[in-house]
Structure 1
Amino acid sequence: MTNQPIAGFDVSKNFSDMCILSPDNKVFARMRVHHNISDFRKACSLLKEAEKEFAMTPIIIMEATGHYHRLLFHFLKNSGYEVIVVNPIQTDSIKNINVRKVKNDKVDAYRIAILYRLRELKPTNTPVEAILDIRNLCRQYYDISDDCTAYKNKLIAILDELFPGFNDIFGNIASKTALEILSTYPTPEDILNAPKDMLVEIISKASRKGLKWSLNKYDKLIEIANEVKPLFIKHSSSNVLLNTVITLIKTFQDLLKQIENEIHKIIANNPDYVGKAIELLDSIPGIDTITAATILGEIGDFSAFKSPKQLVAFFGIDPSQKDSGQFKSSKNKMSKRGSKILRRVLYTTAMANVRKKCNKELFNPVLFEYYNQKLASKPKKVALVAVMHKLVYIIFAVLRDQSPFVLRTPEEHKKLLVLKALQQRGKTA
């Protein structure tokens, strides 16, 4: 138990409540700190009074509350104080410390300070600015990606009436080639009236494919246009709706590209930690640069995780427990207490590892076999969650050992563990 004065901060959107505890756990001072420079300076004055009173610099504890804590965190950090950021889930554990149900910001600030005094809070080392920037960029990336997907679905709905069958010609309706064609020739009638050389040039230029590929797509477009022309339904608003949706999709795609470029810049400017970690994560099958950046951004400081089980819990794929007295629950679900984005990228990575590539090769033969073994006795979702668990253990091992992923069978992995154990015994003998 630390004997230093402790300042607990309960962070809200526009203000934070501060409670300073003396070394004997009495309330030395309270203050509502509005998020402006004047109140920040007043808070620092109170902290200096506590430092003078107890001849020790206060330790500051605050919750990681979205982005709201960042201004206050940086101000206090730059003022020379040790600031520890904790997970809000941990501070919830003391909400019922009193018999009466009391929930307000002043009480929460006191509880945060008490929890740290009792060593019930585990500090979360705030990631370096580069990782925070990556985290924010990746979260924005997925928000925009979701919006883009929504408008892709709207485009498909419009084409179901305006140009049935167009979707079958292009694997990706939002590809540059498809969007360029629709922008210039949006209806079957427009396609049939378009000069062949102009349409082939648009296809060739947008796709960057050869003439043979472009002519093949042209022939399919003409075939579909002739086939669906009698079914063509044109409304007065059709072209406006189509152009609006296409413009929005292109805008979203440009924004996603800008975010990708900015992430690559941050990686290039921080090769020692950020670049190295993303390179290691990128070596795992099914993980690309954006996925690796997302994982790193959400995890932050990897040194905070001492075991793969802790990382599994952080991902929120650990089983929740519902036991009370003699009751033992047999239907435990995922806790889902971690980052939603982490589970999202982990799910897509797991799906990639249990599928085959276009050339019929496997992304990860070991996980593919493991998944199919699980399917023999488990539902599909349960089997996939088991694969997700394996992937988290792989992520932990790669970051812990600072070594790229190497595909090994379970037998090979066991032999390696035995060899390491023997080597360790030889060193301690």
Structure 2
Amino acid sequence: MHKEQHTAVLIDCWMKKLGEITFENRPQKFDGFIREAKKLSEDKTLIFGLEDTRGFGRNLATYLKAHKYIVKDIYPALGNAMRLSSPTVEKNDAYDAFCVARILRDMVDKLPDTKNEDIFFTIRQIVKRRDSIKKRGIILQSQLHDALMYNYPSYRKFFCDIDSKTALCFWENYPSPGCLSGIKLEDLAETLRKASNNACSTKKAQAILSLIAEDGEVKKAYQQERDFIIQGIVKEIRYLKQELTAIDTELRRLIQETGYKLQTMPGIDVITEAQIISDIGDINRFPNADKLARFAGVAPVLFSSAGKGREQRSRQGNRNLNGVLYFLAIQMIQVSRGGKARHPVFHEYYKRKLAEGKRKPQALVCIQRRVLNIIYAMMKNKTEYQAPNL
């Protein structure tokens, strides 16, 4: 399945190749694809398997299900394993489609039915959009650091965060020391007070002016053009912040529609819940928590031969979901400065695993697994978090 076109290979139960079809990824072309498939199959029963990794086959899957066809999901790992099993490895659309057809024939009773849950797909798209905005924001912050360093050597002492609301207002109005020429102390203080909702006082304005005076200034050519760059960066950062606020609002609304209540669990906010839902999707596609654990890469994997071997930590599975679970597990075993555990049950479980001889990374995986079991139950039953007993 590709962005612009799809390739299909038809085989029968004896693995005889009946034909090959390449068609454009446009709904208008789907009717022609079905007519050609029926012609090649000589009116045999058609069952479709889709290896859709990036959502390019969603329209086709929706079309096929609307026309009452059986549509199965083919995991990319299965297709890749089938390709590599050949003595001579090939890689082209026709051979990939043939491998998918073979998998469909051999595992038709085990493969999951395609379920195009629009709400989970939409949440996944919004989460990706949010991630790209965050990455862009990090790049812009780095650019702002570089630009400010030449104008204000002590700029880090002006504000705690260079991208705070007050800081952005200052950089936009006074991108270089020359812009402060003729500005009175009270005028600067008033600008800062408005931007910070009266959090900044005249004392802050005086401190900034003192730091600038201590640094000194060397007048350079094309300063106005460099000021223009800083002002442009500030405007873009401000726009991205507004976009993130709008995205978070939209995620809250969509999550509420799913009925999940993961935010009732300590350590999970709206963003973390959105990431979990984005990676898991419809929880009903996992018959039990063990299947979800394998999907997340927190279930041990057995490596053995000739009766020798042992279970090892999995490096497979969905690494995005695994990363979310890792940071959740870290929060669960944290201890305050006073030595009090934030979550006594998980902290006690962690210490028990260490006492059993497990190393810290292994014990942390056990915490991940336990957290995942709780998340599975909460999503399956759509219930709130209930702290386990000690």
Shared fold by TM > 0.5? Answer: yes
Q: What CA distance in whole angstroms lies between the structure 2 residues aligned with 1:354 and 1:164?
A: 41
The alignment-based identity, stated in percent, is 24
**Aligned-residue offset at 1:400:** 2.7
Structure-to-structure mapping, 1:4-403, within 5 angstroms: 11-37=1-27, 39-49=29-39, 53-54=43-44, 56=45, 58-119=46-107, 121-123=110-112, 125-187=114-176, 190=179, 194-208=183-197, 210=198, 213-215=200-202, 217-227=204-214, 229-230=215-216, 236=223, 238-267=226-255, 271=257, 274=258, 276-277=259-260, 280-318=261-299, 323-324=304-305, 328=309, 334-340=314-320, 342-355=321-334, 363-368=342-347, 384-403=364-383
Residue 391 and residue 42 in structure 1: after superposition, are their counterparts in 2 closer, same or farther (change >3 A)? Answer: same
Residue type of the alignment partner of 1:196: L
Q: What CA distance in whole angstroms lies between the structure 1 residues aligned with 2:299 and 2:217?
A: 52
Q: What CA distance in whole angstroms lies between the structure 2 residues aligned with 1:243 and 1:26?
A: 65
**Aligned-residue offset at 1:344:** 4.2
Q: Which residue of 2 aligns with 1:420?
A: none
Contact 2:185–2:202 (Cα < 8 Å) also in 1: no
Contact 1:354–1:364 (Cα < 8 Å) also in 2: yes
Q: Which runs of 5+ in 2 are unaligned?
A: none
Q: Which moved more, 1:144-153 or 1:213-222?
A: 213-222
Q: What CA distance in whole angstroms lies between the structure 2 residues aligned with 1:296 and 1:172?
A: 31
Contact 1:87–1:124 (Cα < 8 Å) also in 2: no
TM-score relative to the length of structure 2: 0.82
Structure-to-structure mapping, 1:399-410, within 5 angstroms: 399-409=379-389
Residue 386 and residue 49 in structure 1: after superposition, are their counterparts in 2 closer, same or farther (change >3 A)? Answer: same
Q: What CA distance in whole angstroms lies between the structure 1 residues aligned with 2:117 and 2:202?
A: 52
Residue 284 and residue 260 in structure 1: after superposition, are their counterparts in 2 closer, same or farther (change >3 A)? Answer: same
Number of residue-to-residue matches in the alignment? 386
Q: What CA distance in whole angstroms lies between the structure 2 residues aligned with 1:90 and 1:243?
A: 51
TM-score relative to the length of structure 1: 0.76
- 3-state SS, counterpart of residue 41 of structure 1: helix
Q: What CA distance in whole angstroms lies between the structure 1 residues aligned with 2:113 and 2:343?
A: 33
Contact 1:312–1:318 (Cα < 8 Å) also in 2: yes
Contact 2:71–2:113 (Cα < 8 Å) also in 1: no
Residue type of the alignment partner of 2:169: E
Deviation digits for residues 333-383 of structure 1, max 9, x if unmatched?
64244253x344334434444557899986534445556777898777666
Q: Which moved more, 1:184-193 or 1:23-32?
A: 184-193
Residue type of the alignment partner of 2:132: D
Contact 2:177–2:217 (Cα < 8 Å) also in 1: no
Q: What CA distance in whole angstroms lies between the structure 2 residues aligned with 1:170 and 1:369?
A: 41
Q: What CA distance in whole angstroms lies between the structure 1 residues aligned with 2:377 and 2:315?
A: 23
Q: What CA distance in whole angstroms lies between the structure 1 residues aligned with 2:354 and 2:148?
A: 38
Contact 2:11–2:101 (Cα < 8 Å) also in 1: yes
Q: What CA distance in whole angstroms lies between the structure 2 residues aligned with 1:182 and 1:200?
A: 14
Q: Which runs of 5+ in 1 are unaligned?
A: 1-10, 412-429
- 3-state SS, counterpart of residue 68 of structure 1: coil
Deviation digits for residues 365-415 of structure 1, max 9, x if unmatched?
444555677789877766655543333222112213332112234x3xxxx
Q: Which residue of 2 aligns with 1:8?
A: none
- 3-state SS, counterpart of residue 79 of structure 2: helix
Contact 1:17–1:33 (Cα < 8 Å) also in 2: yes
Contact 1:316–1:336 (Cα < 8 Å) also in 2: yes
